[in-house]
Amino acid sequence: MPRIGIVGSGPKQLLPDLKQYEEKIDFWIGVDRGAIEILREKLPLHYAIGDFDSVDDMERGYIQDKAREFDQHPAEKNETDLELGLEKAMSLKPKEIYLFGVTGGRLDHELINIQQLLAIKQKNIDGFIVDTKNLIQIAIPGNHIISKDDKYPYISFIPFSEKVENITLNGFYYPLSEETIHYGSTLCLSNELVSNNGTFFFENGILLVIKSRD
């Protein structure tokens, strides 16, 4: 099962070094201007998808020439460009999907992009949003192992449902035992692992897990 990297049109300054993911990603999908960023890093552009309203005619021609598959859509459509990219990614039956260039910029787009992580998880696929400051994913009930990442030392658990029941954190600077947290709770913000690995568990609800750095 492949790993897919999707690059959107978010602010360039928030893009991580895509080359760091070269060995991990099997297929690269460029969404609108994200296709240019993939090519700029000299990575293979397997699919280019979107309305391409954020590139000029010369850039569009360059993308079309370099992409293995080029799929242009009208600007007036029901789906966002990222949704179109996700549809293509889902068709490849992936194990993991990494989303780059989907944070910053317009807040409405950023919030919807984060919500897409739940749609990915509901397909039994692991989804990650990655930028220079954050690594974001969705967790469903059960036991989870989490590893220390020096690039993103702080770990927050944010309720993505009305409540998250019986959350337990082990191996953290601020441990927790069988607490229920509700939507809007700040109880589980800005924690840190005290060793290379820790665990978290919860019984019901949906969690947004954010690794971050200043």
- Write the pLDDT tens digit of every residue in 131-159: 999 999 999 999 999 999 999 999 999 99
CATH class of residue range 138-212: alpha beta
Give the pLDDT score at 36. 96
Average pLDDT over residues 100-121: 93
Give the pLDDT score at 76. 78
Give the pLDDT score at 106. 87
Q: With a cut of 90, say whether residue 111 has pLDDT above it.
A: yes
C-beta of residue 156 within 8 angstroms of C-beta of residue 176: no
Q: With a cut of 80, say whether residue 98 has pLDDT above it.
A: yes
Q: With a cut of 90, say whether residue 105 has pLDDT above it.
A: no
Q: What is the pTM of this model?
A: 0.94
Instruction: Kindly provide the b/e burial profile for residues 171-193, where b requires at least 16 CB atoms within 10 angstroms of the residue's own CB.
Output: bbeeebeeebbeeebeebeebeb
Domains 3-132 and 138-212 share a fold: yes
Tokens of 19: 């080359």
C-beta of residue 23 within 8 angstroms of C-beta of residue 46: no
203 closest CA partner among 118, 120, 140: 140
User: What is d(CA 157, CA 208) in angstroms, rounded to the nearest whole number?
Assistant: 6
User: For 26-81, how does the pLDDT look when each residue is reduced to its tens digit (9 = 90+)?
Assistant: 999 999 999 999 999 999 999 999 989 888 999 999 999 999 999 998 877 778 89
Q: Answer yes or no: CATH 3.90.1150.10 is held by domain 3-132.
A: no
Domain locations along the chain: 3-132, 138-212
